[in-house]
Structure 1
């Protein structure tokens, strides 16, 4: 009981149940897995082109299991979120699983790698604790002020906007902040229930996107 939890085994043992439950709205699950980086862009694109919802869920589970225990635990924490529980009431059975237990570091004198892992663990649990809430327009405007001239790259890399969409936004809005805000608002309308404050924070603060996490950490606060 005191050892590390094997998320892959938990998912495998409940695979049929999860497929039957999540297929009711497989796209909802897919969008959340993508926004939380549980699935890569390529994996997301492969799954979204599948017409059968049961097969979509099956492939999501297979990808997660293949990636190992860390991804499996992140996926299980996603399923325990309130918005997931509301969408799929049968997932209530997962609340009894002890999937958030972690071994404490033996000493503070651990390597830089261990420190990074611990910081990532804190972030990975944030959506379960505070951030199933939707991002607000006020917050998107504040975020827009933090994104510089590389906003088009952010739109393409982080928010998966097409160049055509970005060109249209640029033509329709004269001021820089208005353009970025329009891009973020377009993203939130596309993602619908998946446009949470945490998801936006998670997307924008990936290393390749160059947005300083300290400037937008208000997205992790409770409102």
Structure 2
């Protein structure tokens, strides 16, 4: 049974880019409904409420709820299926068809293969990955990664990508939207790495340590041949 809560969280994280785009049309409406269901703490509510732009507000709202608990994540999924939300955001129709309990053998095999690839990458030294013939990471790939990184983007920048706090503060000041900040951070990393900024290298960095991203969010970096 422990797989079900985790699958709810993974499901919502995979749908984050689409949800941000749709819900940003009326971020305050979503926030009030989420607060009415106690899906986020009072402190988190205040933090989200004071976000400057709708896109940033929805991004933080989703991150707070998803990271709070599996129960909160399930509550969010249930909220998105409610008639009031469906009426306010017609493009949310796809949420009603999402089923976290669906288990297909094909998906299980794919998941196992991805885990095996991740383990192999952990064994390969970083220098070997960097010096391989992997192609340099593209703008499109960086944007896809940026959409998968939540509120811990600064920690990832400092601890994983070795970007200075001063540079991260500058990026935060230059960009108002969350995804734009993360994208700018990743582009700066690529600039620093030059010919070592391969998709495989970025995947290796983001799949290890406390700040590791979910395999589902970054495995496209090594499976895009």
TM > 0.5 fold call:
no
TM-score with structure 2 setting the length = 0.43
Q: TM-score, normalised by structure 1?
A: 0.43
